[in-house]
């Protein structure tokens, strides 16, 4: 793969969505790159929630960093109102930290029942990032509809000077999909020109599905409520 400008300050963003692809992918990048937590993000009206991991208290939306790569990851799904607040919080972070581009990882529902490797599609808010898709051989997301947190972030950043790239991995919409996340991890590592070992996630695929089943259920409920408010029941991403 030909790489983008890897010296630019880049923000990676992950949150619960289809197949929990964003959650799996960004969490794995944090651990693989041994990134350090440097802060937390607050979203107005987000219910008070804390997580405990190995005795450590964690906020639901955290910020990590290593060199020129920053990460914002959420462990909670957002409804439409909270998604807008999250999107604006991302933009404020980018302005304060001279971020030159953001990369969002998400899942795209697929009806393909064949046992083929999931595909990755890309969507950019600014033509300046078209080069990343072309040189990394990532097909463009050409037709469909997007809503929820993805749409909120895209809506904010397409009106700013900070370009955003969304990587959509084909995935199962109703179950955690580590296989789709593996493809997303490899694609993201290629764009960033970093090395990651995906053997660990391969070894823990079944365990990951079980561990994240509750979060997947919460995410599905959130996505379905958003669909109902729009008065339609389409595929989550088409």
Cα 128 from Cα 153, distance rounded (Å): 18
Neighbours of 46 (CB within 10 A): 19
Burial class for 54, CB neighbours closer than 10 Å (0-12, 13-18, 19+): exposed
Cα 62 from Cα 21, distance rounded (Å): 17
Minimum mean pLDDT among 112-116, 179-183, 208-212: which range? Answer: 208-212
Q: How confident is the model at residue 3 (pLDDT cuts 50, 70, 90)?
A: very low
% residues pLDDT > 90 (the chain): 51
Q: How many CA atoms lie within 13 A of 230 on its CB side?
A: 17
CATH match for 10-229 among 3.40.50.10490, 3.40.30.10, 3.40.190.10, 3.40.50.10900 = 3.40.50.10900
Q: How confident is the model at residue 37 (pLDDT cuts 50, 70, 90)?
A: very high
Mean pLDDT of 186-213: 73
Q: How confident is the model at residue 36 (pLDDT cuts 50, 70, 90)?
A: very high
3 state SS of 37: strand
- Which residues touch 50 (CB under 8 Å, ≥6 apart)? 57, 58, 59, 60
As separate numbers, helices (DSSP H) first and strands (DSSP E) second, the chain gives 8, 9
Whether pLDDT at 236 is above 50: no
**pLDDT on residue 228:** 53
Highest mean pLDDT among 30-34, 67-71, 117-121: 67-71
Indicate the pTM of the whole model. 0.83
**pLDDT on residue 232:** 43
Whether pLDDT at 115 is above 70: no
Sign of torsion, CA 172 64 31 100?
Answer: positive
pLDDT digits (tens, 9 = 90+) for 64-104: 999 999 999 998 889 888 999 999 999 999 999 999 999 99
Contact 3, 193 (CB under 8 A): yes
CA 47 distance to own-chain centroid:
21
- The more confidently predicted of residues 123 and 112 is 123
Cα 2 from Cα 96, distance rounded (Å): 29
Please state the domain extents for the chain. Answer: 10-229
- Which residues touch 228 (CB under 8 Å, ≥6 apart)? none
């Amino acid at each position: 793969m030909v790489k983008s400008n890897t010296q630019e300050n880049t923000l990676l963003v992950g949150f619960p969505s289809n197949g929990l692809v964003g959650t799996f992918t960004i969490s794995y990048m944090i651990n693989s790159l041994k990134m350090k937590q440097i802060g937390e993000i607050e979203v107005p009206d987000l219910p008070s929630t804390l997580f405990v991991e190995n005795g450590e208290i964690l906020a639901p939306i955290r910020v990590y960093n290593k060199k020129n790569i920053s990460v914002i990851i959420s462990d909670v799904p957002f409804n439409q109102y909270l998604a807008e607040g999250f999107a604006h919080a991302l933009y404020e972070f980018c302005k304060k930290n001279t971020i030159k581009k953001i990369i969002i990882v998400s899942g795209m529902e697929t009806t393909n029942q064949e046992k083929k490797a999931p595909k990755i599609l890309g969507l950019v808010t600014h033509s300046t990032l078209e080069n990343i898709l072309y040189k990394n051989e990532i097909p463009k997301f050409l037709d469909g509809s997007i809503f929820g947190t993805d749409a909120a972030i895209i809506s904010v950043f397409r009106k700013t000077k900070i370009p955003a790239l969304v990587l959509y991995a084909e995935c199962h919409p109703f179950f955690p999909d580590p296989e789709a996340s593996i493809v997303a991890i490899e694609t993201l590592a290629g764009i960033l020109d970093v090395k990651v070992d995906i053997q660990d996630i391969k070894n823990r695929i079944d365990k990951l599905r079980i561990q994240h089943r509750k979060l997947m259920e919460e995410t599905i409920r959130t996505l379905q409520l958003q669909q109902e408010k729009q008065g339609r029941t389409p595929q989550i991403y088409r």
